[in-house]
Amino acid sequence: MTEMLKFENVELYYDHVYALKGVSIDLSEGETVALIGANGAGKSSILRAITGLNAIKSGEIHFQGKRIDGANPADIVKMGIAMVPEGRRVFPHMSVKDNLLMGAFTRSDKADIARTLDMVLTRFPRLKERYSQSGGTLSGGEQQMMVIGRALMAKPKLLLLDEPSLGIAPKLVQDIARSIVAINRDENVSVLLVEQNSRMALSISNRAYAMSTGSVVLSGNSKELMKDDRIKAAYLGGEL
C-alpha cells in the first residue's frame, strides 16, 4: 500500500510540558488507523500537529510524500486533510445545509460540491430530514453526523476524527461507527481516528497505536491488539 501519512519522531510541548515525546506513526492509503488511550495521552495533539494548529518542536510530518509541518492550516486542508474536532463545534444558528456547505469553503466547483452534498445527505439521511433546521436544535449524535458531513464536503483524502463517540447515546455511537467504515470503504477516504472508546476504535480500524503520556506504548493489527492482555487490562476494562 502507498504511504499517505508519516509522522516521524515528533515532539510537541504545551508551555514546556511534553505533549508528544518522539512519537512516530504512519498511515497507508485506504487504511483506517486508530489512536487509543486515556484522556491526556497525546492523541489529539497528533491531530493538531498534522493540521498545523500546533507547531511541533522537532521531528517531521509528511503527507503524500510532501513535508507539511510548518504549513498554514488552510493550505493543509487544500492538500486533502479534513478534521472533525472534539466537541463537534457546530454553527448553532445556521441551518444544517449551511453548516455542511461551510466545509466546502476551499472549493469552487459548484456542480461537484452539489454531488458531494448529495453523497453526504445519502450517507446521513437524518440530515436530509433536518436540512432546514438550525444546527443547534439537533441532538448530539445528529450534530456529530453533521460535522462529519461538513468535513466530507472538503472532499478530503484523509479524514481526522477526534473523539466522535464522546457524549453520544450508545445506539448512535453504533451508527457513527458504521458510517466511518462506509466512508473509508465507499468514498476512498483514509481515516485517522482518535477515540477513548477503545473497543469501538479497534473494531472498525485496520491498525492501532495505544498511547500513554505522550508516547506510543503498543501498536499493531487492531484485531490482534483486541486479544492482547495488556490492551484488555489497560483499555478494555479487563475483558472482552
Angle in degrees, CA 53, 58, 63, rounded to 5: 60
Per-residue pLDDT, 16 = 80
Residues 6+ apart with CB under 8 A from 90: 99, 135, 136, 138, 143, 146, 147
pLDDT band at 30 (very low <50, low <70, confident <90, very high): very high
Enter the pTM of the model. Answer: 0.93
Let me know if 16 is exposed, middle or buried by CB neighbors in 10 A (0-12, 13-18, 19+): exposed
pLDDT digits (tens, 9 = 90+) for 116-175: 999 999 999 999 999 999 999 999 889 999 999 999 999 999 999 999 998 888 888 898
Task: Over range 43-71, report the average pLDDT.
Answer: 96
Strand order in the sheet with 58-63: 17-28, 3-14, 58-63, 66-67
Mean pLDDT (the chain, rounded): 92
What phi and psi values does residue 3 have, to the nearest 5 degrees? -70, 130
- How do the domains of the chain map onto residue ranges? 3-235
- In the numeric block, which cell numbers belong to residue 99? 453548516
pLDDT digits (tens, 9 = 90+) for 79-104: 999 999 887 689 999 999 999 999 99
* CATH for 3-235, options being 3.40.50.720, 2.40.50.140, 3.40.50.2300, 3.40.50.300: 3.40.50.300
Other Cβ atoms closer than 10 A to 158:
22
- In the numeric block, which cell numbers belong to residue 11? 515532539
How far is it, in rounded angstroms, from Cα 122 to Cα 204? 21
